[in-house]
Structure 1
């Protein structure tokens, strides 16, 4: 009986598709959208799409989480650079195929194949060869310099620089030596057998330890501007920043350990309370500076200093009697810390169980972020009174309770990835169909028991994100999915729906237009 029903539904779907794509009003924009959506759909034959509509298919393939090896092989050998470029940038690209793209005739493809954050690393022989080739001077003005290319490698995966420091080619080690200051493991380059490499390494350390002066600070905010403010600062430069009125620069500099104590006094007494909060989080504050911040007029500053490890007994007593609830809560947790907990406040978590049971929310939050947290402590922190602790647990622990995942999603608008976490509850989400927040209405698409009429109604929701999510919902009735293939906004999303009859849609798509001569 089910087979008969399924056959009937498929026949009806094909009939509807035939009517839709026979409609002369359908333009190439919608066809392109359908092709792009099919390319996103893991059920669609990527080889067919690449053969008939390569550029449009590539646009959709870049949105797939994974790419089968056969698809990657076809993309790597494709004559269109747009297709190869999508593959080079894709998170799932196989390291062996990425190594082949390093030899692509198009320099842009080769540059992309150097790597992106999240891609799997190349095999060591491929990395060795690639790094030596990058040391060759540019053949034209479009290619970055070797130093710029190694900067890209470092951004893709910092471990590339450690690999470069052990490279057999002295040219590679010389470029790596520019970052000798970065990690202790890089200091092996100080005794490199090549004198030039050792000299560059020594210069790198000396430059990193050089005291920054006013002439070293760029005129405008940029990466170099912020890096300079985190380096050892001369008194002249620190005073220049403090008196500049540049609030962002002062905030950036406020945690710099090289500031002399009298300039820290200026931070602690600054007119901007956020800067005073930053001052309260500094390590190594003097007794007088702590006392000044304890007496601050702003509750947020007093709460910040209330968690400082250097509070004396009289400071704890004063803050414990503070009229502000937040200040009293901050110092109450601090007052109950033992020596081991105080040490973990400013250092690594050495005892995860002690941190999870601590009265201090910072320690509990850091413990909640550990995926190896024991299950009994998971159960305890799932009901923590502090939202930040619960959220860390939901984001990082593989066994976070289902009700916690849902609660954290409802309470934290920016945590859009929580519904994809293992254990997120799916049934019963249809109750949010009328919720005022469109981000929460989108949850209805996850509910396998949602009423079809509710799903259909949400494809006409006032919010575009809700409409698009519902068009992709596999529980949406088949005839509605097909109808959306003719919708200018939702065609791509409907074509990506895993429940669509891919073969029927492909059979009815008009052939691609021949390129102009």
Structure 2
């Protein structure tokens, strides 16, 4: 029964009085579904909190509760949620800054626009996790500059990741020069040094990260500090470029997404022995055409796929990548930005891989669209099949010529007619993906939806389709598959009397 109530809670046609009834029955799961309703009133939100205390945080984040609805003493977590949204009151921050729970103080430290006195209190917190969280999220350069010399290495690591940290401080954190060494880290706080954390550690209460180590120099935290500073776009490019040759793979990898490096650094990283580094470089917008062409021959398919999504990849390179890296199954950024002349060139190419690339666009001129719809290559037709504006006759010809290879994409066409959708459900052999597309299609007729109900994967989607007859939806409420029954309960075409019966049935039993 509970899954039916969850379905009802998500039903957009549920009358307000039945929303009230569900609120009076709510548990944690039901409260989550109710909290997401777009029509939930403020009074209903307050009532839901009275019923399920834990829902206050979700409702606060959803904007259903305001500061007037929250007592920070009774509901400190909800108060934190509003502070996190920038909708709380300054006095709440002062109260929570001395909360006995370090977890709440840690959450407070991540909130925006905290009063200066609260920032000072958190910066002096006895729990280093609270200070580190402040160091990570504060937007005040003076605060990050102050915390950059904190005696604990974990706080410095957080400062290194904060884009509000002044560039000069980030450069210093990268090298460690010109400042006293940290006196502690999370490793030596808890373990006798020298210590190296076992990656297979079985202690249930252990919070150390894999590879954490300390021999007195806090080496793993220092390494993570450098990595954070290298990833931080506020760290000066001249300070980070030399790390393109660093022995540490993680430090080289941290550079791969930066867009301000000298070209020679990109050249070195494009030839890095680690495929992950090369993959990130391949997607870096700062890459120039010459390097793109060099990397197009990379032996790793993940690198070539990333390169295909580069916004400046030459179209002739993309054609080759579409064929060798399976990168042509979606609209690529460079193709999306192609000029009318380039679109015509791609569509007229003798290479079907090039025609497939442009066929993924959904704004093609009618002439080009129709030409691609009549293409002899099934992959090209499959790519263009969901394009709006194609006629029923064109879609039928696609199916006649290419059968199961294009069926699901034809079913996804927004202009597919009810008659065609019904016919596709009778295709032999059947195509399971087509049933799922038809089950969610706005034009799906009853006969097609009934056919989709016979497919195990499409059945829940079909059960939620508003075109289903009310009596069928009602029958599906008793389906042995809970997902299907819940979807039926969420169907806006479910009769209101049935909705009321479900709610009242549970109401009487409770």
TM-score relative to the length of structure 1: 0.51
- CA distance 1:437–1:185, shift in 2 (3 Å): farther
Q: Which residue of 2 aligns with 1:94?
A: 63
Q: Which residue of 2 aligns with 1:491?
A: 485
Deviations 1:376-404 (A, max 9, x none): 99x979x997999999x99xxxxxx9x9x
Instruction: Give the CA RMSD over aligned residues.
Output: 6.3
8 Å Cα contact 1:458-1:467 kept in structure 2: yes
8 Å Cα contact 2:99-2:105 kept in structure 1: no
Displacement after TM superposition at 1:48 (Å): 3.9
Q: Which residue of 2 aligns with 1:461?
A: 455
- CA distance 1:479–1:68, shift in 2 (3 Å): same
Name the SS of the counterpart of 1:164 in structure 2. coil
Deviations 1:144-177 (A, max 9, x none): 45532325xx2xxxxx33x115467853675697
Q: Which of the residues 424, 437, 441 maps onto 2:435?
A: 441
Measure, in 2, the Cα distance between the counterparts of 1:429 and 1:130. 57
8 Å Cα contact 2:414-2:441 kept in structure 1: yes
Q: Which residue of 1 aligns with 2:416?
A: 428
Displacement after TM superposition at 1:428 (Å): 1.7
Measure, in 2, the Cα distance between the counterparts of 1:187 and 1:37. 48
Name the SS of the counterpart of 1:468 in structure 2. helix
Measure, in 2, the Cα distance between the counterparts of 1:310 and 1:474. 49
1:41 aligns with 2:33: no
Q: Which residue of 2 aligns with 1:264?
A: 245
Q: Which residue of 1 aligns with 2:45?
A: 72
Measure, in 1, the Cα distance between the counterparts of 2:355 and 2:117. 48
1:129 aligns with 2:91: yes
8 Å Cα contact 1:41-1:495 kept in structure 2: yes
Unaligned runs of 5+ in 1: 1-28, 155-159, 191-197, 242-249, 337-363, 395-400, 412-423
8 Å Cα contact 1:40-1:60 kept in structure 2: yes
1:365-404 correspondence to structure 2 within 5 Å: 365=333
Measure, in 2, the Cα distance between the counterparts of 1:323 and 1:148. 45
Measure, in 1, the Cα distance between the counterparts of 2:295 and 2:244. 29
Q: Which of the residues 50, 66, 80 maps onto 1:114?
A: 80
Measure, in 2, the Cα distance between the counterparts of 1:454 and 1:513. 38
Deviations 1:192-242 (A, max 9, x none): xxxxxx9667536697527499x958636799759999xxxx99769999x
8 Å Cα contact 1:187-1:201 kept in structure 2: no
1:452 aligns with 2:446: yes
Q: Which of the residues 470, 479, 499 maps onto 2:471?
A: 479
Q: Which of the residues 103, 106, 112 maps onto 1:148?
A: 106
Deviations 1:233-262 (A, max 9, x none): x99769999xxxxxxxx9999979878958
Deviations 1:330-358 (A, max 9, x none): 8x99899xxxxxxxxxxxxxxxxxxxxxx
Unaligned runs of 5+ in 2: 161-172, 188-196, 200-205, 315-331, 348-353, 363-368, 374-381, 388-411
1:164 aligns with 2:114: yes
Name the SS of the counterpart of 1:444 in structure 2. helix
- CA distance 1:255–1:440, shift in 2 (3 Å): farther
Displacement after TM superposition at 1:479 (Å): 1.6
Measure, in 2, the Cα distance between the counterparts of 1:72 and 1:239. 47
Q: Which residue of 2 aligns with 1:421?
A: none
Name the SS of the counterpart of 2:438 in structure 1. helix
Measure, in 1, the Cα distance between the counterparts of 2:121 and 2:221. 37
Deviations 1:126-160 (A, max 9, x none): 3312211102342xxxx445532325xx2xxxxx3
TM-score relative to the length of structure 2: 0.52
1:280-295 correspondence to structure 2 within 5 Å: 284=261, 290=267
Q: Which of the residues 504, 507, 510 maps onto 1:512?
A: 507
Deviations 1:9-58 (A, max 9, x none): xxxxxxxxxxxxxxxxxxxx3xx333222221132234442365333753
1:144-293 correspondence to structure 2 within 5 Å: 144-151=102-109, 154=110, 160-161=111-112, 163-164=113-114, 166=116, 170-171=120-121, 182=136, 185-189=139-143, 203=150, 208=160, 209=173, 211=176, 219=197, 225=209, 261=242, 264=245, 266=247, 284=261, 290=267
Measure, in 1, the Cα distance between the counterparts of 2:103 and 2:272. 54
Displacement after TM superposition at 1:455 (Å): 0.2
Q: Which residue of 2 aligns with 1:11?
A: none
- CA distance 1:92–1:42, shift in 2 (3 Å): farther
Q: Which of the residues 14, 20, 25 maps onto 1:53?
A: 25
Measure, in 1, the Cα distance between the counterparts of 2:66 and 2:487. 30
8 Å Cα contact 1:165-1:172 kept in structure 2: no
Displacement after TM superposition at 1:74 (Å): 2.5
8 Å Cα contact 2:465-2:491 kept in structure 1: yes
- CA distance 1:303–1:220, shift in 2 (3 Å): closer
8 Å Cα contact 2:230-2:255 kept in structure 1: yes
Measure, in 2, the Cα distance between the counterparts of 1:302 and 1:178. 31
